[in-house]
């Protein structure tokens, strides 16, 4: 019996549809369909997951790919080879992607999705991206996401994209990072409508050591239609009064942030 046939039998015995099995493995239904049709084989880490779901050994899943021994002397050799393969699988899994999707779903997404680990000898695939309400992984997409690369309403990581983004490189409506891009941004290098940082470029307001803006700039080196320069420093009240004069409708929390930033950068 081939792997594809065995997989189909085990799935049906467990009372699972292709879509249900795919959800438990964190893959697409099309992937399961390809495995059962024999046009593709699952990754080693998925074989481990399949053995755990169906309660069978790895030997049971993969032994059809081992040639039948022609003599008793070959049995021991094949057994050793199989044990070596299992050891290789174990080492692979320890160094590979850890996958978890909670059974609780909201809007069709797992409440918690985790994809963590190293991708060995393969490119990062869509199956190795954490996708859920709360997503954690090397790459994560969710309402709240945490990852080396993350995207969501609230995103945290090295490279982030979201409504609120916090990261080394952050892009969002509101973003904070070493390099920050978006609407309201703060960072060492910040570019946005409202920007604050060491080097700040803003469409309306920029506050920083070096600041450039279309309308208002506050800084040691500033360039804009309305400019407030400081030498030895400015008080918070001076910055706040200047910004209120030119932007009377500026959102109060943002006014306080820019005033504090302008007063503290020397």
Q: Can you tell me the mean pLDDT for 145-150?
A: 93
Please name every residue paired with 176 in a beta bridge, in sequence order, or none if there are none.
166, 186
pLDDT attached to residue 73: 45
Total Cβ atoms within 10 A of residue 261: 19
Region 4-18 average pLDDT: 88
CA–CA distances in Å: residue 225 to residues 94, 199, 200, 205: 59, 18, 15, 10
Position 245 scores a pLDDT of 93
What pLDDT score was predicted for residue 75?
42
Average pLDDT over residues 116-122: 59
The candidate with the shortest Cα–Cα distance to 256, out of 239, 73, 138, 59, is 239
pLDDT by residue (tens digit) across 227-263?
A: 988 766 678 898 999 999 999 999 999 999 998 888 8
Do residues 130 and 140 lie in contact, with contact meaning Cβ atoms separated by under 8 Å?
yes
In a 3-state reduction of DSSP, which class is residue 43? coil
User: Which of the residue ranges 37-41, 49-53, 86-90, 251-255 would you say has the lowest mean pLDDT?
Assistant: 86-90
Residue 226: which of 209, 214, 238, 240 has the closest Cα? Answer: 214
Q: Which two tokens stand for residue 241?
A: 């009064």
Q: Could you read off the pLDDT of 60-92 as tens digits, one per residue?
A: 777 654 444 444 444 445 555 555 655 555 555
Judge contact between 16 and 10, C-beta under 8 A.
no
Q: How far is it, in rounded angstroms, from Cα 1 to Cα 62?
A: 11
pLDDT surpasses 60 at 148: yes
Per-residue confidence at 265, pLDDT binned at 50, 70, 90? low
From residue 246, how far is each of 186, 215, 243, 261 by CA, in Å? 21, 9, 5, 17
* Under 8 Å between Cβ of 142 and 135: yes
Instruction: Supply the pLDDT for residue 3.
Output: 80
Distance CA 31, CA 14 (A): 18
CA gyration radius, the chain:
28
Whole-number percent of the chain with pLDDT over 90: 42
Q: What angle do CA 223, 163, 156 make, to 5 degrees?
A: 100
Which residues, 6 or more positions from 137, have their beta carbon under 8 angstroms from its beta carbon?
Answer: 113, 114, 115, 116, 128, 129, 130, 146, 147
Which domains, from first to last, does the chain contain?
Answer: 3-94 (1.10.260.40), 173-264 (no CATH)
DSSP assignment, residue 248? Answer: T
Answer yes or no: are the C-beta atoms of 209 and 201 closer than 8 Å: no
What is the distance between the alpha carbons of residues 44 and 57, in angstroms, rounded to a whole number? Answer: 13
CA-CA distance, 147 to 258, in Å (whole number)?
29
The separation between CA 158 and the C-alpha centre of its own chain, rounded to angstroms, equals 9
- Supply φ then ψ for residue 118, to 5 degrees: -110, 145
């Amino acid at each position: 019996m081939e792997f594809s046939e065995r997989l189909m039998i085990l799935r049906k015995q467990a009372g699972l549809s292709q879509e249900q099995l795919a959800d438990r493995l964190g893959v697409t239904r099309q992937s399961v369909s390809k495995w059962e049709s024999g046009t593709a084989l699952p990754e080693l880490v998925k074989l481990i997951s399949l053995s755990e779901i169906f309660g069978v050994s790895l030997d049971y899943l993969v032994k059809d790919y081992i040639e039948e021994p022609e003599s008793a002397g070959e049995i021991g050799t094949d057994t050793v080879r199989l044990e070596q393969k299992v050891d290789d699988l174990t080492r692979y899994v320890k160094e590979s992607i850890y996958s978890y999707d909670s059974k609780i779903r909201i809007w069709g997404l797992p409440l918690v999705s985790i994809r963590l680990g190293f991708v060995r000898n393969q490119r990062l695939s869509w199956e190795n991206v954490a996708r859920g309400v709360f997503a954690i992984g090397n790459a994560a997409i969710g309402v709240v996401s945490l990852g080396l690369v993350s995207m969501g309403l609230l995103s945290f990581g090295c490279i982030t994209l979201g409504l609120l983004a916090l990261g080394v490189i952050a892009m969002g409506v509101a973003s904070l990072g070493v390099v920050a891009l978006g609407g309201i941004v703060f960072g060492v290098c910040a570019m946005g409508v409202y920007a604050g940082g060491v080097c700040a470029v803003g469409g309306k307001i920029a506050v920083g050591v070096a600041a450039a803006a279309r309308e208002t700039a506050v800084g040691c080196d500033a360039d804009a239609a309305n400019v407030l320069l400081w030498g030895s420093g400015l008080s918070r009240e001076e910055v706040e009064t200047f910004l209120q004069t030119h932007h009377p409708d500026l959102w109060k929390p943002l006014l306080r942030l820019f005033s504090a930033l302008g007063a503290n950068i020397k």
